[in-house]
Amino acid sequence: DTAVSQTPKYLVTQMGNDKSIKCEQNLGHDTMYWYKQDSKKFLKIMFSYNNKELIINETVPNRFSPKSPDKAHLNLHINSLELGDSAVYFCASSPKITDTQYFGPGTRLTVL
């Protein structure tokens, strides 16, 4: 199926740990994104890559580091996890930044 996929779907971990979330799209899009959705459903962009180049980097703690090994993948690594990092993280992709974005199913991160 053509889609945006994320792994894992659920991630439960202790404070201070390091974790990664993986994202892959097989839609042939040039642009990929990471969003954070908090408990009140507020959705905020974190990063955007276009053709493996970082083009948007919002005010995000440098504990968060995205990596795009190729155009179809955008991973998110989080160091020294904190309670406030608990949220749902969505990956998305689009042909270009003003186009429709296609979202993955989300990764629910719970930090204990």
Partner 1 sequence: AQSVTQLGSHVSVSEGALVLLRCNYSSSVPPYLFWYVQYPNQGLQLLLKYTSAATLVKGINGFEAEFKKSETSFHLTKPSAHMSDAAEYFCAVTRSNFGNEKLTFGTGTRLTIIP
**Rounded Cα gap, residues 33 and 18, in angstroms:** 21
Q: Does residue 26 sit in helix, strand or coil?
A: coil
Show Cβ contacts of residue 57 under 8 Å, excluding neighbours closer than 6 positions. 47
Contact call for residue 95 and partner 1 (CB under 8 A): no
Q: Among 16-24, 41-49, 59-67, 77-85, which window interacts with partner 1 (CB under 8 A)?
A: 41-49
Binder among 8, 15, 44, 61 for partner 1 (CB under 8 A) = 44
Say how many C-beta atoms besides its own lie within 10 A of residue 37's C-beta. Answer: 15
The set of residues, in sequence order, having a beta carbon less than 8 Å from that of 69 and lying 6+ positions away, is: 52, 75
**How many residues of this chain bind partner 1 (CB under 8 A)?**
23
Name the residue nearer to partner 1 (CB basis): 14 or 100. Answer: 100
Q: Is 48 a residue that touches partner 1 (CB under 8 A)?
A: yes
Contact set with partner 1 (CB under 8 A): 4, 40-45, 48, 50, 55-56, 58, 90, 92, 97-98, 100-106
